[in-house]
Amino acid sequence: MKILAVDDDPVFLELLGKFLRELGHTEVVFCESGSAALPILNSSSSGFDCLLVDIQMPVMNGIEFCKSVRAIPRYARTPVLMVTSMSETQYIDAAFLAGASDYITKPLKRMELKARLSLAASMNQNRARQLATLSGRGAVRFGSHLRFSDPVLLHEVHGILELVALKNYALTLGNFRMQSWKAIGFATLGASEFYNACGPEQFYEVMEDVGNILFDTLKQSRLMMSYTGSGRFVALVSRHAACERDDLEAQANAYLQPFSEHYREFTASPIAIVAGREQRSSLLSFQPADGLIDRAIVSVQERAANTAVRTFS
């Protein structure tokens, strides 16, 4: 991968460069500030495949830099790995909400860096298969190679993260700090019928609609959310938020109702939203901290399989 490393500590950049060379990464550009790195990103003809970014930097910190990177269409999904000494929850939250893909705390370990870069390479491979072109508004447009099950990033949805980033967030916090969250899955009934009738691009736009409806439904709470593919979403909300399943479904489908007439122009299959059971992490569990996300997805899969669309139409 071609890598851009941004850190205001020249000693750390030297160490990072040593590790990267040992791992076989020779196309690396080093920069000591975010404000100096942005012109490099915009002027590079071939672009970068991965960014390694410190948080504490003068003028423009790493979180501000990450937001600026995500505003550049060609870097909307480029893996951004925060490499920082800041381990407090407030920095982790801010980094992922700004668009970070992963989070590594210093002191840096070579094998950990290797594992995270391998994950970044895998993210790039998935992105290359899914991505077709960029539209005028900067949103991703897809061709027939976008599969129904692909967990793509929905660019026009507020508060959305890639699924791999949401899981990395949970793993960064660990089981103890994940006690402040609970996970809830959501499924779009009729999604596969719509995808088959209308194709990937129209389906992508419908999932953006559903994503924003879920954001409006849950926005009274602390919130992080991802699209998991197959018409499903998973959200992390505050552990103390009131999230009765019947209330969530009723409110989400009320927001969905004005869109229904438009959807019927493409397919006769009605669309509705259902929610799974909320999932919480346990201090006594030996499962990874992202396990509640997977459990929330399984819960809503079961809920969707046993719920008829007509119940909500």
Between 278 and 45, residue with greater pLDDT: 278
Nearest C-alpha neighbor of 120 from the set 103, 106, 134:
103
Rounded to an integer, the average pLDDT of 123-129 is: 80
**Residue 139 pLDDT:** 45
If residue 110 lies in a helix (H) or strand (E), which one and from where to where?
Answer: helix 110-130
**Residue 209 in contact with residue 252, Cβ under 8 Å?**
no
What's the mean pLDDT when you consider all of the chain?
90
The pTM of the full predicted model, rounded to 2 decimals, is 0.90
3-state class of 116 per DSSP? Answer: helix
3-130 CATH pick, 3.30.70.260, 3.10.20.30, 3.40.50.2300, 3.30.1490.20: 3.40.50.2300
Which CATH architecture is the domain 140-311 placed in? 2-Layer Sandwich (3.30)
pLDDT category, 142, cuts 50, 70, 90? low
Break the chain into its structural domains and give their ranges. Answer: 3-130, 140-311
Q: Residue 137 pLDDT more than 50?
A: no
Which residues, 6+ apart, have CB-to-CB distance to 69 below 8 Å? 38, 41, 51, 75, 78, 80, 99
Rounded to an integer, the average pLDDT of 297-308 is: 92
**Residue 249 pLDDT:** 95
Distances in Å between the Cα of 306 and the Cα atoms of 25, 69, 196, 218, 260 are 49, 42, 21, 24, 22
Nearest C-alpha neighbor of 154 from the set 172, 171, 168, 166:
166
Strands 133-134 and 140-141: antiparallel
Dump pLDDT digits (tens) for 43-102.
877 789 999 999 999 999 999 999 999 999 889 889 999 999 999 999 999 999 999 999
